[in-house]
Amino acid sequence: MKLAIVCYPTFGGSGVVATMLGTALAERGHEVHFVTYKQPVRLDLFSRNIFFHEVNVEEYPLFHYQPYELALSSKLVNVVQEYGIELLHVHYAIPHAYAGYMAQQMLKDQGITLPMVTTLHGTDITLVGNHPVYKPAVTFSINNSDVVTSVSASLKRDTIELFEITKQIDVVPNFIDMSLYKTEFKDCDRTVMAFPQERIITHISNMRPVKRLMDIVKIFEIVEKQIPAILIMVGDGPERFAAEEYAHKAGLKMKIKWVGNSTEIDRILCFSDLFLLPSEKESFGLAALEAMANHTPVISTNTGGLPEVNEDGVSGYTSDVGNIEEMAANAMKILKDDQVLNDFKNAAFAKAQQYDILKIIPQYEKLYNTVLAGTKSL
Ligand code: GMT
């Protein structure tokens, strides 16, 4: 099948999931066209069956805000006409489902039917989409999608609770390609980061307020007083500066390595002993799953979809948002003994298998085929 994928090209999880999905579909012989404003960070363009179409927004002095939705829907119309796209899959409702709906309507005028699958990722529902300035448009575009999926059961519940949804929502969880983690990672050298006696704790995110960066530093502060440890902070974002400043004042400057955004997170996670994700909200927590696939247990909150991914007492521990003491105590339970750490590492890896790409891609293919069959019989 020929499909177009719309996503954010940045380091956020929704863009990563869309890229992994498109790549896997292309490997299975589908023709996949990514349509977005920049090449997605994890997209390998030198791959068979993969195309990338950049959306350009023309500047004009009158525009206070650039009309991205307009440019995106026009680009979609052009790509669909030129390449004979049969199906559109948009990731993150805002503004992609809205732009997709507009493209559908324009194409309809030309006698072309383009079914649209919308995947809800989290903040498009729980933080941003729920705001009154966006809510009517988000509700409309969800209800007018042909198929709606959410990345966790928790996000499905939130969507139903927060919006007036008339559409069925199918839960298709996020996934990971476990075949990449079956053999030992070649480039895994923990000595470049830590002394042999130190435990390595890692966090990866876009460092927005929802990630509670200060909690991470404070958890580490408690742990580091009890065992030799370092913290690796991967990513960048608005909360980084304040957290870095707090860490310096707390005398942790030499113990925390801020490495910025990275496209090589497996090279860091492969030698990590623990992953911290104390988020305020998290529809799924893809970074936690990536850690687990790398044999890294997780200390997280129990919010949103996190308990679906991180099984309390098995792949790590979950706590209430803001319960720094408990999270630090749980981190110590895992880190203080080599044998216990090893057991948690193995259990985290075993739990990650539940989200193997091989189990999830067929679920998307089934939805695509069902919606296409419905369209063709019209
Ligand atoms: O965490 C973010 O704010 C980024 C956001 C995104 O758009 O990439 O992440 C959301 O989607 C990810 C992929 O489905 C999920 O793993 C994250 O849990 C979700 N983030 C939140 O719900 C805060």
Residue 71 maps to which CATH number?
A: 3.40.50.2000
Name the burial class of residue 133, with classes exposed (0-12), middle (13-18) and buried (19+) by CB atoms within 10 angstroms of its CB: exposed
Do 165 and 219 lie in one domain? The reply is no
Do 161 and 188 lie in one domain? The reply is no
Do 29 and 93 lie in one domain? The reply is yes
Do 136 and 238 lie in one domain? The reply is no
Ligand 1 pocket by C-beta < 6 Å: which residues? 12-14, 17, 92, 121-123, 151, 174, 206, 208, 210, 281-286
Q: Which of 8, 14, 156, 174 to mutate to test the pocket of ligand 1 (most atoms within 8 A of CB)?
A: 14
Do 229 and 345 lie in one domain? The reply is yes
Report how far residue 220's alpha carbon sits from residue 232's, in angstroms, rounded to the nearest whole number: 10
Q: Which of 5, 281, 286 to mutate to test the pocket of ligand 1 (most atoms within 8 A of CB)?
A: 286
Report how far residue 274's alpha carbon sits from residue 340's, in angstroms, rounded to the nearest whole number: 12
Do 25 and 166 lie in one domain? The reply is yes
Q: How far is the CA of 285 from the centre of ligand 1 (A)?
A: 7
Q: Are 160 and 169 in contact (CB under 8 A)?
A: yes
Do 191 and 316 lie in one domain? The reply is yes
Do 229 and 215 lie in one domain? The reply is yes
What are φ and ψ of residue 185, in 5° steps? Answer: -70, 125
What are φ and ψ of residue 179, in 5° steps? Answer: -65, -25
Q: Which neighbouring-strand residues pair with 257?
A: 232
Q: How far is the CA of 213 from the centre of ligand 1 (A)?
A: 16
Do 366 and 336 lie in one domain? The reply is no
185: which residues sit within 8 A by CB, 6+ positions away? 266, 267, 270, 294
Domain of residue 278, residue span: 179-355
pLDDT at 12: 82
Mean pLDDT of residues grouped by 10 in the chain (378 residues)? Answer: 97 92 97 97 92 95 93 98 98 96 97 97 89 94 97 97 96 95 77 94 97 98 98 97 97 96 91 97 96 97 98 98 98 97 98 97 97 78
Q: Which atom of ligand 1 lies at the shortest distance from residue 174's CA?
A: 14
Q: How far is the CA of 83 from the centre of ligand 1 (A)?
A: 31
Q: Which of 10, 123, 128 to mutate to test the pocket of ligand 1 (most atoms within 8 A of CB)?
A: 123
Return the H-helix or E-strand segment holding 304: none
Q: What is the DSSP string of 135-165?
A: HHHHHHHHHTSSEEEESSHHHHHHHHHHS--
pLDDT at 263: 85
Radius of gyration of the chain (CA): 21
Q: Into how many domains does the chain fold?
A: 2
